[in-house]
């Protein structure tokens, strides 16, 4: 398989279009057409990780965090980012990053945290705004079915656990073909009235190009009438953080100690304990102060996240407990998730879990 082919497999899990605007995801180093001999999956791409890839004969590194985040103005090896890039290029190793594309995936970073903590029925905590679009088009009644099937195949019509969803109305369309036109139905210079079906389907924004192509390919008309709208509806399958429930209520302290053990955390920094049982838990891997408000709105008893500053703990306001277990600790199982995913999607291919330690924070 080539780098590009493996990238397409990864995009099935986490489309790059789902990444945040500030991020730098996708293929950062290397030739997309290069044949891949082996894949090394890591949380961070550091020099020791590149050395591990060389040792294991892996010429593609799939990394959660992007090694190149800001623009590089020179490559002299003066810092760790430049040294990693130089070493990767010198050894013909490609680097692919997923970061917030995987953060926003319903089966990504936060789903893995829920799994490790034993949370049931997880749902997106902060759904991505303006990520659902609606296509409205009009077609002769005889062609409506084939057009809908083509749109479904391209990814339209998915709503939660349902697929092939659409809504249709019947009406009369009119048009007059002017000189130079090549009408499928009707004659040049005559106003034509046709019984038509109005087709309505919704889709996730990143599928728009393929869905419009499917529409144009399947539609019989020379000029296709269509409208695209951006909806305010909540996207159940895309967004930051997740919220789920424990099998049974737990004491606050007992739960936090369980989190510490399950997430291999050296310490848990938390706001004031409220002296009540907890059952509904919010999680957000990485820096999650922005999720405190959403966690309160969701009725969570505890938010498990990382990188909270002093004043962030005040935002709990005795409505929930906010717990900071460390950035690396919240995301460490992401590489296990990716190895499992790739092993299932491309069996009989060399996929290795990096053994390199990349956590820069140490505790006494």
Kindly report the average pLDDT of the chain as a whole number. 97
Short-list 29, 28, 25, 34, CA closest to 4: 34
Mean of pLDDT values over 17-32 = 97
- Mean pLDDT of the region 130-136: 96
Q: Say which CATH architecture domain 132-230 belongs to.
A: 2-Layer Sandwich (3.30)
Mean pLDDT lowest for which of 53-57, 156-160, 248-252, 332-336? 156-160
Using CA atoms, how far apart are residues 211 and 58, in angstroms rounded to an integer? 36
Residue 160 binned pLDDT confidence (cut-offs 50, 70, 90): confident
Confidence of residue 161 (pLDDT cuts 50, 70, 90): confident
In the sheet that 39-42 helps form, which strands lie side by side, from edge to edge?
A: 26-29, 94-97, 60-63, 39-42, 351-353
Q: pLDDT at residue 260 above 90?
A: yes
Q: What is the mean pLDDT of residues 30-40?
A: 98
Statement: residue 176 has pLDDT above 90: yes
pLDDT band at 30 (very low <50, low <70, confident <90, very high): very high
Structure tokens at 336: 């296990």
- Maximum alpha-carbon separation in the chain: 85
pLDDT at site 36? 97
The mean per-residue pLDDT over the stretch 216-221 comes to 97
Burial of 226 from C-beta contacts in 10 A (0-12 / 13-18 / 19+)? middle
Please report which confidence band the pLDDT of residue 37 belongs to, taking 50, 70 and 90 as the band edges: very high
151-176 per-residue burial string, b: 16 or more CB within 10 A, e: under 16: bbebbbbbeeeeeeebeeeeeebebe
Q: What is the pLDDT of residues 205-218, one digit of tens each?
A: 999 999 999 999 99
CATH 3.40.1390.30 domain extents, the chain: 3-101+333-353, 109-127+239-324
Report residue 296 CA to chain centroid gap.
23
pLDDT higher than threshold 90 for residue 25: yes
CATH architecture of the domain covering 3-101+333-353: 3-Layer(aba) Sandwich (3.40)
Look at residue 234 and tell me whether its pLDDT is greater than 90: no
Residues 6 or more apart whose CB falls under 8 angstroms from that of 23 comprise 66, 99, 100, 101
CB atoms within 10 A of CB 34: 15
CATH 3.30.70.120, the chain: domain bounds: 132-230
Q: Which residues are annotated as a binding site?
A: 65, 103, 327, 331
For range 114-127, the mean pLDDT: 97
User: What does the pLDDT read at residue 165?
Assistant: 97
What's the pLDDT at 238?
95
Q: Which residue ranges make up the annotated binding site for a divalent metal cation?
A: 65, 103, 327, 331
The third-level CATH classification (topology) of the domain covering 109-127+239-324 is 3.40.1390
The model's confidence at residue 71, banded by pLDDT at 50, 70 and 90, is confident
pLDDT at 139: 97
Mean pLDDT confidence for 2-18: 97
Q: Is the pLDDT of residue 236 over 90?
A: no
Inter-CA distances, 281 with 195, 243, 360, Å: 53, 6, 28
> By percentage, how much of the chain surpasses pLDDT 90?
96
């Amino acid at each position: 398989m080539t780098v590009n082919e493996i990238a397409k497999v990864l995009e099935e899990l986490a489309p790059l279009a789902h990444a945040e605007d500030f991020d730098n995801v996708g293929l950062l180093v290397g030739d997309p057409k290069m044949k891949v001999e082996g894949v090394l999956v890591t949380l961070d791409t550091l020099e020791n990780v590149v050395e591990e890839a060389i040792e294991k004969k892996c010429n593609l590194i799939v990394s959660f965090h992007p090694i190149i985040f800001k623009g590089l103005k020179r490559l002299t090896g003066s810092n760790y980012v430049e040294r990693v890039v130089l070493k990767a290029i010198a050894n013909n190793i490609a680097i692919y990053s997923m970061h917030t594309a995987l953060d926003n995936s319903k089966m990504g970073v936060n789903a893995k945290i829920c799994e490790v903590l034993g949370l049931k029925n997880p749902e997106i905590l902060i759904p991505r705004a303006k990520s659902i679009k609606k296509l409205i088009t009009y077609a002769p009644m005889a062609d409506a079915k084939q057009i809908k099937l083509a749109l479904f195949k391209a990814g339209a019509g998915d709503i939660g656990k349902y697929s092939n969803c659409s809504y249709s109305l019947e009406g009369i369309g009119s048009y007059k073909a002017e000189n130079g036109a090549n009408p499928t139905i009707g004659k040049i210079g005559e106003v034509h009235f046709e019984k038509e079906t109005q087709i309505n389907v919704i889709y996730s924004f990143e599928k728009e190009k393929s869905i419009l192509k499917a529409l144009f390919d399947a539609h019989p008309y020379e000029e296709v009438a269509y409208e695209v709208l951006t909806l305010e509806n909540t996207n159940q399958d895309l967004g930051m953080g997740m919220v789920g429930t424990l099998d049974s209520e737990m004491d606050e302290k007992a739960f936090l100690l369980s989190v510490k053990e399950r997430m291999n955390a050296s310490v848990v920094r938390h706001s004031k304990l409220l002296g009540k049982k907890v059952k509904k838990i919010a999680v957000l891997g990485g820096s999650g102060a922005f999720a405190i408000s959403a966690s309160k709105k969701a009725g969570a008893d505890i938010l498990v996240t990382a990188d909270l500053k002093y004043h962030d703990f005040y935002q709990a306001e005795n409505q929930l407990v906010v717990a900071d277990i460390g950035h690396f600790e919240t995301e460490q199982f992401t590489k296990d998730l990716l190895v499992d995913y790739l092993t299932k999607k491309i069996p009989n291919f060399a996929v290795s879990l990096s053994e390199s330690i990349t956590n820069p924070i140490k505790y006494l």
